[in-house]
Amino acid sequence: MIGDGGPPALDAEFTVRALALSLSQMLEDAGRSGFVVGLSGGVDSALAAAVAARAVGPQAVHALFLPGPGTPEVSADNARSVAEHLGLALETVPLAPLMDAMPFPAEAHRRRGNFTARLRMAILYDRAAALDALVLGTSNKSEMALGYTTLWGDMAADCWPLGDLYKTQVLAIARAIGLSEEVVGRPPSAELWEGQTDEEELGFTYRDADRVLYTYLEGRHRPEEIAGHAAEAALVERVLQRVREQAFKRRLPHVPKLSTRTIGHDFHHPRAWRGPA
Amino acid sequence: MRRSVTIRVVQHRPVLGDLEANLADHRARIEAAAEDGADLVHFTELSLTGYALGDLVDAVALDPAHPLWPEVLALSEPADVVVGFIERGEDGFLYNAAAYLHAGRALHVHRKVYLPTYGAFQEGRFFSPGRSLDVFDAPWGCAAFLVCEECWHPSVAHAAVMQGAEVLLATANAPGRGPVDGGWASHRGWREILSTYARVYAVWIPFASRVGFEEGFIYGGGSAVVAPDGSLAAEADFLEPAELTAVLDAAALRRARVANPAHGIERHELLIAALQRVRTAAGEAASPAVAPEVEAP
């Protein structure tokens, strides 16, 4: 048996209020004017954008739709409808011309997919510089725990407002605050190549993964406690193997320590600081 | 309690590391509270500096030689004040401290004894622990501090009440956890703990808990004034800044102690003997005894 049955239901309105407060204060601390966000047409970016719009007003959130070779037309429709629903300006930058400059072998799905994610990152950061904005990350806790993300690609951002929400909690909150079923009900996909879905590639559903992750991370159960019988033991093993193997994506790179005070080891400064040094 | 006290509990968001801005904000709130008739203005843990200071604790530590120290003391000219600050001790070490200021002087300074250094908390990296569980004689009665983590150690409340405390001045910088039912599950837990202490010991507990976002923590607010019967005489929102006004009523405390004299008949010798057995079993007989610096009135 798997522990408590998964992440708890949260108060959607209070959660959005709390996250919006954190975003508005991050922006104030950073001294920037707004956020840029890549809208994929999926639920994570839609919810992140909704929180940002709540935090700082839709006029201070610049949305980009960045279609690549794996992006279906329905994503464009969804991105447009999300931007319209939230009152955001939406800019479209097709990646095809940039992709053409970097040919990949046909079978190199993953390399090309990661390259696509990093192109999106480069465009978002450029727009953020132009607009005096912060890049709004859209990764959720399930993706980050599983490492189902491109290092320095979709994971590259100035903040991760959804980083402590499991995917199933993202879905519930998105529904509760009125994001459309076309967006919330779509099978999750990174759309790094045509027909890709997260759950097919991972080999398990987010619902199952979240039960294991929540029970392990927050319930602090040992793997053998989570796995009550063979079928579930295999699932627990697959999920926790990803957590283990992808740990590097959740940490900044190693700095081999040489001095008496080293960045990443014993140099602890906050990000926002207005007093004396 | 010798008399009742009108208290203003301030649930605010300090500016991280900016002593002068925080002093100005404290001053304005204290003046307004005094005009409204408050005797005591109660701020949060590290209210003059903010919390997530990291190595920069050294840059904003205060001692009597600091040019801003007279301004800190002067905060208490319009009304008594509870502030949180970083104290540079005469020994050169840094302490997470809370002070009770009265008429331009520091009547009592408490150095936080329990520094959380686990999970998301790192205070033990940056502060030295206080060594004493004290009470002090405030102008209106006997009081003691419970600074954040100390609320989670029943021994601190117990030591305070056994030394005569009638009011426990609680402060916190606590991240909200569990956004459910219109608030934080974590902060409902705080209130349950304080409500239990208030009821068991028949004490008033004003609780100042900060709000705002800092270095990844969304502080959970939920400040309150807990009455000696465990009820909430005032309570604040879990996200927004707020100010609470309440009367710490001496008569209510008297009535609660008449109704519930349990701790008045506490048999200290039994607890001391039990702790002595624990100490002996743990092989800690060599550790120094901790004695209160101030006698209960």
The answer to whether A238 and A28 are in contact (CB under 8 A) is: no
The three-state secondary structure class of B231 is coil
Are the Cβ atoms of B54 and A269 closer than 8 angstroms? yes
Residue given tokens 């719009």 in the structure block: A53
Structure tokens at A79: 């991105």
B239: chain A residues, CB-CB within 8 Å: 14, 17-18, 21
Does A10 contact B at CB distance below 8 Å? yes
Question: Residue A163: how many CB atoms within 10 A of its CB?
Answer: 18
Residue of chain A whose Cα is closest to the Cα of B16: A273
Separation in Å, CA of A65 to nearest CA in chain B: 28
Which amino acid is located at B128 in the chain? S
Average pLDDT, chain B: 95
Read off the pLDDT of residues B11-42 as tens digits, 9 standing for 90 and up: 999 999 999 999 999 999 999 999 999 999 99
Structure tokens at A260: 């008496």
- How far are the Cα atoms of A164, B16, B121, B123 from residue B51, in angstroms, in the given order? 21, 7, 11, 10
The answer to whether A37 and A49 are in contact (CB under 8 A) is: yes
Domains of chain B in sequence order: 5-281 (3.60.110.10)
Residue of chain B whose Cα is closest to the Cα of A267: B55
Domains of chain A in sequence order: 12-250 (3.40.50.620)
> What is the ipTM score, two decimals?
0.92
Read off the pLDDT of residues B242-279 as tens digits, 9 standing for 90 and up: 999 999 999 999 999 999 998 888 999 999 999 999 98
- The predicted pLDDT at position A2 comes to 45
Residue given tokens 């409808």 in the structure block: A81
Sign of CA dihedral A222, A149, A21, A43: negative
Provide the chain A residues 229-268 that lie in CB contact (below 8 A) with chain B.
Answer: 267-268
- Contacts of residue A152, Cβ cutoff 8 Å, sequence gap at least 6: A118, A121
Mutate which: B57, B122, B213, B217, vs A, most A CBs within 10 A: B213
The three-state secondary structure class of B192 is helix
* CB pairs A-B closer than 8 Å: 78
Cα B219–chain centre separation: 16
Q: How far is residue B179's CA from residue B255's CA, in Å, rounded to a whole number?
A: 37
- The predicted pLDDT at position A106 comes to 87
Q: How far is residue B252's CA from residue B261's CA, in Å, rounded to a whole number?
A: 14
B181: chain A residues, CB-CB within 8 Å: 11, 14
- Contacts of residue B187, Cβ cutoff 8 Å, sequence gap at least 6: B174, B176, B209, B220, B221, B222, B238
- How far are the Cα atoms of A199, A206, A210, A220, A232 from residue A237, in angstroms, in the given order? 16, 15, 13, 16, 8
Structure tokens at B152: 């989670």
- Contacts of residue B13, Cβ cutoff 8 Å, sequence gap at least 6: A25, B210, B211, B212, B219, B241
- The predicted pLDDT at position A229 comes to 56
Does A100 contact B at CB distance below 8 Å? no
pLDDT, greater one: B100 or B290: B100
Do β-strands B136-138 and B105-111 pair in parallel, antiparallel, or remain unpaired? unpaired
- The predicted pLDDT at position B291 comes to 52
- The predicted pLDDT at position A3 comes to 44
Are the Cβ atoms of B179 and A277 closer than 8 angstroms? no
Are the Cβ atoms of B18 and A17 closer than 8 angstroms? no
Question: Residue A254: how many CB atoms within 10 A of its CB?
Answer: 8
- How far are the Cα atoms of A24, A26, A27, A160, B38 from residue A136, in angstroms, in the given order? 12, 11, 11, 7, 44
DSSP character string of A102-134: S---TT-HHHHHHHHHHHHHHHHHHHHHHHTEE
The answer to whether A22 and B213 are in contact (CB under 8 A) is: yes
Read off the pLDDT of residues B46-56 as tens digits, 9 standing for 90 and up: 999 999 999 99
Are the Cβ atoms of B180 and A25 closer than 8 angstroms? no
Question: Residue B116: how many CB atoms within 10 A of its CB?
Answer: 16
Q: How far is residue A96's CA from residue A93's CA, in Å, rounded to a whole number?
A: 9
Could you tell me which residues are beta bridge partners of residue B235? B224
pTM of the model: 0.93
Share of chain B above pLDDT 90, in %: 92
B18: chain A residues, CB-CB within 8 Å: 274-275
How do the pLDDT tens digits run along chain A, 277 residues long? 444 578 999 999 999 999 999 999 999 999 999 999 999 999 999 999 999 999 999 999 999 999 998 899 999 999 999 999 999 999 999 999 999 999 999 899 889 999 999 999 999 999 999 999 999 999 999 999 999 999 999 999 999 999 999 999 999 999 999 999 999 999 888 777 778 888 998 999 999 999 999 999 999 999 988 887 555 899 999 999 999 999 999 999 999 999 999 999 999 999 888 777 7
Separation in Å, CA of B45 to nearest CA in chain A: 18
Q: How far is residue A192's CA from residue A184's CA, in Å, rounded to a whole number?
A: 19
